């Protein structure tokens, strides 16, 4: 026999003005399992709580129901109260007779009292099947992994490292730096991108708490918050990093030339190379796809000339598994392939280039040493046309979303053209000009006023070639007439899109992504750097298009979340989690598929059946990952999986209490 | 029919998701919005926790109407629970119809934690609809509350004996 105590609160007159609290307490005395029932003016007050504690001790109560306000208000107060009286804090339920009863039915005491009695009966019926629950704890590995070594990853790692935690950066390419290292100047201040990025790269590489793992990829992720086991594939560099001094003799002598990825194919690199002069680590890798030693088995010049003897053709990919407490995804973005728009002739006309190619052309260390020269004939362009929203805001051929950065980088590029070539003219075809950011609108105004960029509102229908000129056909929708602009060069502001393998990586680590392949934050406003997977955070453009200031801000936010997690010695987990009755479980695996947190897996157990030992698969819940949503309990065909504190039995008992007399 | 229903006060069970509708109902209270006193709210962690069995049990025990309320599609606290609810209860409605129960006795609604007025609106509307349908006599069994407790206790003992 259970001994339930019922305590009905008047909340001054908040409840008592429309609920007959004494009648509620009196009626509940006759309800099954109720051993004690009373009402009091302020149950949450000190004397109110004392009343509960005293009753628990004197009446020998083993569970408690308080009929008062919303559990969102005082559930913890009363849980602590019953715990102080020696009960397990989960042997307690609340009936919400204020927010959901007295306040919404102020003029009908009879009906409101009737409802309060029903709510109290439901709570008593539920509490009868409450079981003592304990919070569980899991350890935390005090080390973080940052996936991606662009500005987002670098900033996150520096912030985590400065807080005293060890952090590893895994970067896919041979050097950290990311897209920001390819950019010439940054809006709205026109700071040189390299000048502000390279000190951060150096800081990351020399920080005692940061380990760079470049030319490597995440291969497998297992485990859960606080304890992720991550397998990293360190791709074969063919260069012994401990011996190499980065002197550069090897790549100066290498005979094989390959289009440079860093320069977007506008100049050549060698088969043994560093992506760019400021690369970190500044030690080369051999591109095995093009190196003659690997393709034809000849050459070997680099190994002959290397003064340190660092070249080793026999190095293989290496798999290492490390344990991390938290993971930050900072994998960045790619640019939309503009050749989808056949009418612009990207890829067909050499002088139609992308915005990022323009950055390299105008960069002092780029293929033209900073002289803006057009790719086809190396002449200085006098008329430059910019086309915005190439792939952005176009559901049919591109992406529905706005890429956020293009308006600003186009304005920046227009001013750079005007700055470098005094007698030039620039034309910008646009749909809208969107400049939400500090100093951005002012920058745009300077572009049109001081730098006299011609902004034409309208889309470009096609680009044709006439002689050595490009003819841009478009429409000025403000004047309502077609326009033709003769251009020497056309720059396309291509959309920011997710990495082609972004979805694959998200599945690997185990969190969600949206229809465009961008990673989904836990809450768009209130949890913008968390994912639905505990311990996995987001920074930068992998979450959605954003510019450098926003990326750096988000990186800092992600770092704070990581350090908050890592600074705990153990993680407390809510006890209201799912549990499997393995005797009854048939191992069908439906719960495994439905769980949004990948908390359920199938495990093999041994059983004695008819004197024989058999093996079979059953579901198992990892309580550190389970958040207690209960989706699995409903999908289970045999009701073998139950959510603690919200069991089928408890909810059915509540239903019965409401319906039966 | 209308004369029968005029004095009829239906009892309606609302399964409310802890993260949205339950908070919305609290907000309705905080804003002192009034609605008919026929509803009883049962708090669940997610609308996806509501097993169709619970709904059937309520009808079996004589409830006049059941609402399952969760977060708006796309806003589930647990990512996807309300999508399962949505699909599950489309089927549920058809099954109720097949069983001869008016499917309008059963409804699913999405109410966020900031939608106190919507909670009021939904409850007022649903109470009106269920009142018009009349009392549920279709599936009602004649169990008493004492018998229900006894049945559960017996099950528990049986389970332990196993």
Per the CB < 8 Å rule, is B26 touching A99? Answer: yes
B150 assigned to some structural domain = no
Higher pLDDT, B114 or A450: A450
A651 assigned to some structural domain = no
Per the CB < 8 Å rule, is B57 touching A627? Answer: no
Which of A634, A642, A649, A650 to probe the B interface (max B CBs under 10 A)? A634
Percent of chain A with pLDDT over 90: 91
- Global confidence as pTM: 0.73
Residues 6+ apart with CB under 8 A from A491: A353, A354, A355, A358, A384, A385, A386, A387, A410, A413
Do residues A218 and A508 make contact, with C-beta atoms less than 8 angstroms apart? Answer: yes
Per the CB < 8 Å rule, is B54 touching A635? Answer: no
- pLDDT of A216 higher than 90: yes
Per the CB < 8 Å rule, is A656 touching B41? Answer: no
Residues of B within 8 A of A72 (CB-CB) are 22-23, 26
Do residues A142 and A562 make contact, with C-beta atoms less than 8 angstroms apart? Answer: no
Tokens of B49: 């926790």
Question: Do A191 and A173 share a structural domain?
Answer: yes
Do residues B48 and B16 make contact, with C-beta atoms less than 8 angstroms apart? Answer: no
Question: Do A21 and A67 share a structural domain?
Answer: yes
| Rounded CA separation B141/B37 (Å) | 24
- What residues make up the domain containing B46? 2-136
B29 assigned to some structural domain = yes
A653 assigned to some structural domain = no
Residues of A within 8 A of B35 (CB-CB) are 104
DSSP-based three-state secondary structure for A525: coil
State the pairing for strand pair B12-17/B39-44.
parallel
A244 assigned to some structural domain = no
Nearest beta carbon to residue A630 from set B26, B30, B48: B48
- What residues make up the domain containing A619? 578-644
DSSP-based three-state secondary structure for A370: coil
Q: Give the chain A residue whose CA is nearest to the CA of B23.
A: A72
Per the CB < 8 Å rule, is A103 touching B146? Answer: no
* Burial class (CB within 10 angstroms; exposed 0-12, middle 13-18, buried 19+) of B52: middle
pLDDT (mean) for A409-426: 96
Do residues A42 and A9 make contact, with C-beta atoms less than 8 angstroms apart? Answer: yes
- pLDDT of B112 higher than 70: yes
Distance of residue A608 Cα from the nearest chain B Cα, in angstroms: 16
Residues of B within 8 A of A596 (CB-CB) are 78-81
Q: Report the pLDDT value the prediction gives residue B5, as an integer from 0 to 100.
A: 59
The CB-based long-range contact list for A254-258 (8 Å cut-off, 24+ gap) reads A254/A301, A254/A302, A255/A292, A255/A299, A255/A301, A256/A290, A256/A291, A256/A292, A256/A299, A258/A287, A258/A290
| Rounded CA separation A624/A647 (Å) | 19
Orientation angle between helical segments B52-60 and B81-98, nearest 10 degrees:
40
pLDDT in tens, A541-588: 999 999 999 999 999 999 999 999 999 999 887 799 999 999 999 999
* CATH code for the domain in which residue A590 is found: 3.30.70.20
* CATH code for the domain in which residue B79 is found: 3.40.50
Q: Is A587 left (phi over 0), alpha (psi -120 to 50) or beta?
A: left
DSSP-based three-state secondary structure for A406: helix
* CATH code for the domain in which residue A168 is found: 3.50.50.60
Q: Give the chain B residue whose CA is nearest to the CA of A117.
A: B40
Question: Do A112 and A53 share a structural domain?
Answer: yes
Instruction: Assign B159 a pLDDT band (cuts: 50, 70, 90).
Output: confident
- pLDDT of A143 higher than 90: yes
Per the CB < 8 Å rule, is B152 touching A627? Answer: no
- Give the burial string for A507-519 (b: 16+ CB within 10 Å, else e): ebbbbbbeebbbb
A209 assigned to some structural domain = yes
- pLDDT of A206 higher than 70: yes
pLDDT in tens, A490-507: 999 999 999 999 999 998
Q: Report the pLDDT value the prediction gives residue A371, as an integer from 0 to 100.
A: 94
pLDDT (mean) for A628-633: 94
Do residues A93 and A126 make contact, with C-beta atoms less than 8 angstroms apart? Answer: yes
A14 assigned to some structural domain = yes
Residue A424's H or E segment, with its range, is none
pLDDT in tens, A225-238: 899 999 999 999 99
The dihedral sign for the CA sequence A518, A523, A528, A532: negative
Calculate the CA dihedral of residues A628, A629, A632, A633 and round it to 10 degrees: 80
B144 assigned to some structural domain = no
Neighbours of A224 (CB within 10 A): 23
Tokens of B104: 């309008």
Q: Give the helix ranges, DSSP H, for A475-534.
A: 502-509
Strands of chain B (E only): list them: 12-17, 39-44, 65-70, 106-110
pLDDT in tens, A309-342: 999 999 999 999 999 999 999 999 999 999 999 9
3-state DSSP percent of chain B in helix, strand and coil, to 5: 50, 15, 35
Half-sphere exposure of A538 (CA within 13 A, CB side): 31
Orientation angle between helical segments A71-84 and A46-59, nearest 10 degrees:
50
A205 assigned to some structural domain = yes
Residue B80, beta-bridge partner list: none
B159 assigned to some structural domain = no
Question: Do A442 and A359 share a structural domain?
Answer: yes
Per the CB < 8 Å rule, is B29 touching A643? Answer: no
A656 assigned to some structural domain = no
Q: Report the pLDDT value the prediction gives residue A341, as an integer from 0 to 100.
A: 95
DSSP-based three-state secondary structure for A103: coil
| Rounded CA separation A578/B89 (Å) | 23
Instruction: Assign B2 a pLDDT band (cuts: 50, 70, 90).
Output: very low
Question: Do A598 and A506 share a structural domain?
Answer: no
Mean residue pLDDT across chain B? 90
pLDDT in tens, A577-626: 999 999 999 999 999 999 988 899 999 999 888 899 999 999 999 988 88
B132 assigned to some structural domain = yes
Residues of B within 8 A of A653 (CB-CB) are 148, 152
Q: Give the chain B residue whose CA is nearest to the CA of A126.
A: B42
Which of B8, B21, B29 to probe the A interface (max A CBs under 10 A)? B29
Per the CB < 8 Å rule, is A106 touching B53? Answer: no
pLDDT in tens, A274-293: 999 999 999 999 999 999 99
A65 assigned to some structural domain = yes
DSSP state, A239? B
Q: Please tell me whether the peptide bond between A281 and the residue prior to it is cis, using omega within 30 degrees of 0.
A: yes
pLDDT in tens, A66-107: 999 999 889 999 999 999 999 999 999 999 999 999 999 999
Q: How many domains does chain B have?
A: 1
Phi, psi values for residue A18, rounded to 5°: -130, 0
B99 assigned to some structural domain = yes
Q: Whose CA is closest to A536, among A505, A569, A509? A: A509
Question: Do A527 and A467 share a structural domain?
Answer: no
On whether ipTM exceeds 0.85, the answer is: yes
- pLDDT of A215 higher than 80: yes
Q: Give the chain B residue whose CA is nearest to the CA of A123.
A: B42
Per the CB < 8 Å rule, is A655 touching B49? Answer: no
Instruction: Assign A34 a pLDDT band (cuts: 50, 70, 90).
Output: very high
Which of B149, B156, B158 to probe the A interface (max A CBs under 10 A)? B149
Question: Do A121 and A14 share a structural domain?
Answer: yes
Q: Whose CA is closest to A457, among A433, A434, A436? A: A433
Instruction: Assign B35 a pLDDT band (cuts: 50, 70, 90).
Output: very high
Per the CB < 8 Å rule, is B57 touching A646? Answer: no
Question: Do A326 and A281 share a structural domain?
Answer: no
- pLDDT of B152 higher than 90: no
- Min mean pLDDT across A252-261, A358-367, B4-13 is at B4-13
pLDDT (mean) for A348-368: 95
B96 assigned to some structural domain = yes
B160 assigned to some structural domain = no
Q: How many domains does chain A have?
A: 5
Q: Give the chain A residue whose CA is nearest to the CA of B120.
A: A104
Mean residue pLDDT across chain A? 95
């Amino acid at each position: 026999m259970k001994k339930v105590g019922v305590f009905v609160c008047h909340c001054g007159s908040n409840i008592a003005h429309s609920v007959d609290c004494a009648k509620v307490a009196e009626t509940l005395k006759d309800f099954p399992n109720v051993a004690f029932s009373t009402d009091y003016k302020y149950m949450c007050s000190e004397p109110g709580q004392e009343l509960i504690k005293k009753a628990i001790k004197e009446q020998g109560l083993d569970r408690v129901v308080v009929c008062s306000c919303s559990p969102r208000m005082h559930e913890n107060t009363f849980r602590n109260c019953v715990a102080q009286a020696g009960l397990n804090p989960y042997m307690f339920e609340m009936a919400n007779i204020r927010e959901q009863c007295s306040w919404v039915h102020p003029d009908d005491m009879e009906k409101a009292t009737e409802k309060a009695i029903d709510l109290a009966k439901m709570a008593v019926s539920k509490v009868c099947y409450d079981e003592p629950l304990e919070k569980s704890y899991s350890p935390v590995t005090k080390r973080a992994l940052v996936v991606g070594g662009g500005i987002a990853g670098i900033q996150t790692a520096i912030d985590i490292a400065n807080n005293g935690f060890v952090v590893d950066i895994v970067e896919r390419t041979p050097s950290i730096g990311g897209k920001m290292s390819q950019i010439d100047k940054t809006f709205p201040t026109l700071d040189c991108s390299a000048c502000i990025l390279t000190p951060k790269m150096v800081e990351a590489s020399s920080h005692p708490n940061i380990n760079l793992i470049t030319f490597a990829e995440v291969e497998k992720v297992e485990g859960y918050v606080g304890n992720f086991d991550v397998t990293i594939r360190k791709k074969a560099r063919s260069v012994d990093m401990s011996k190499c001094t980065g002197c550069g003799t090897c790549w100066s002598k290498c005979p094989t030339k390959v289009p440079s990825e860093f320069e977007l194919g506008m100049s050549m690199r060698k088969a043994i190379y560093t992506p760019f002069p400021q690369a970190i680590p500044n030690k080369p890798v051999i591109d095995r796809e093009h190196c003659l030693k690997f393709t034809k088995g000849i050459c070997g010049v680099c190994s002959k000339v290397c003064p340190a003897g660092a070249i080793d053709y026999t190095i293989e990919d290496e798999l290492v598994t490390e344990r991390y407490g938290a993971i930050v995804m900072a994998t960045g973005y790619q640019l939309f392939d503009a050749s989808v728009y056949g009418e612009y002739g990207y890829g067909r006309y050499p002088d139609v280039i992308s915005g990022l190619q323009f950055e390299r052309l105008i960069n002092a260390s780029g293929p033209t040493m900073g002289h803006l020269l057009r790719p086809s004939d190396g002449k200085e362009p006098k008329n430059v046309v910019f086309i915005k929203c190439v792939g952005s805001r176009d559901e049919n051929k591109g992406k529905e979303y706005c890429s956020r950065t293009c308006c600003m980088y186009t304005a920046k590029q227009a001013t750079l053209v005007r700055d470098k070539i005094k007698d030039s003219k620039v034309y910008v075809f646009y749909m809208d000009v969107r400049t939400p950011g500090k100093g951005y609108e002012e920058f745009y105004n300077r572009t049109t006023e001081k730098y006299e960029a011609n902004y034409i509102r309208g889309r470009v229908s096609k680009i044709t070639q006439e002689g050595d000129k490009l003819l841009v056909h478009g429409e000025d929708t403000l004047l309502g007439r077609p326009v033709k602009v003769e251009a020497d060069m056309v720059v396309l502001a291509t959309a920011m899109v997710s990495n082609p393998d972004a979805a694959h990586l998200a599945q690997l680590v185990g969190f969600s992504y949206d229809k465009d392949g961008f990673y989904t934050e836990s809450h768009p406003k209130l949890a913008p750097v968390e994912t639905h997977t505990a311990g996995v955070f987001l920074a930068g453009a992998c979450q959605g298009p954003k510019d450098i200031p926003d990326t750096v801000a988000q990186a800092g936010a992600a770092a704070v979340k990581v350090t908050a997690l890592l600074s705990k010695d153990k993680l407390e987990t809510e006890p209201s989690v799912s549990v499997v009755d393995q005797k009854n479980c048939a191992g069908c695996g439906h719960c495994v598929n439905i769980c949004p947190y990948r908390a359920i897996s199938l495990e093999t157990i041994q059983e004695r059946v008819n004197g024989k030992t058999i093996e079979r698969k059953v579901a198992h819940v990892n309580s550190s990952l389970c958040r207690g949503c209960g989706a699995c309990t409903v999908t289970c065909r045999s009701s073998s999986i139950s959510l603690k504190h919200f069991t089928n039995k408890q909810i059915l008992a509540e239903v019965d209490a409401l319906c039966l007399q | 029919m209308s004369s029968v229903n005029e004095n009829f006060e239906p009892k309606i069970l609302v399964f409310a998701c802890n993260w949205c509708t339950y908070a919305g109902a609290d907000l309705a209270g905080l804003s002192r919005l009034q609605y008919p006193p026929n509803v009883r709210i049962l708090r669940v962690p997610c609308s996806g926790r509501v097993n169709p069995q619970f709904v059937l049990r309520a009808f079996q025990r004589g409830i006049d109407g059941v609402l399952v309320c969760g977060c708006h599609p796309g806003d589930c606290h647990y990512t996807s629970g309300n999508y399962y609810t949505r699909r599950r209860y489309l089927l549920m409605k058809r099954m109720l119809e097949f069983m001869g129960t008016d499917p309008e006795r059963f409804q699913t609604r999405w109410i966020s934690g900031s939608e106190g007025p919507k909670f009021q609106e939904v409850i007022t509307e649903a109470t009106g609809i269920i009142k018009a349908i009349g009392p549920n006599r279709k599936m009602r069994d004649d169990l008493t509350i004492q018998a229900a407790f006894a049945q559960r206790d017996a099950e528990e003992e049986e389970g332990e004996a196993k």
